[in-house]
Amino acid sequence: MQPSPEQIRTQIYVAMTPAEKWTEFCRLRELAWALKKAGLKAQNPDWTDQELEEAVRKIFLYAST
């Protein structure tokens, strides 16, 4: 039986050093920020880059799980 994708992902993260985990965290955070900004830009094409950045900052500041 093959391991599930979740099991494979867990194995990869367990094998990572703390520095590698930090690098991956930063990469994923940047990706999430860029995707949210692109979504807001699509919804609000007239917003300036500064307005988009501020909106994304607020979204992530007040986000909850």
Burial of 59 (0-12, 13-18, 19+ CB in 10 A): middle
- Distance between CA atoms of residues 50 and 54, nearest Å: 6
Amino acid at 41: K
Considering only CA atoms, give the Rg of the chain: 17
- CA 37/CA 53 separation, integer angstroms: 7
Q: What percent of the chain has pLDDT over 70?
A: 98
Per-residue model confidence as pLDDT tens digits over 27-56: 999 999 999 999 999 999 999 999 999 999
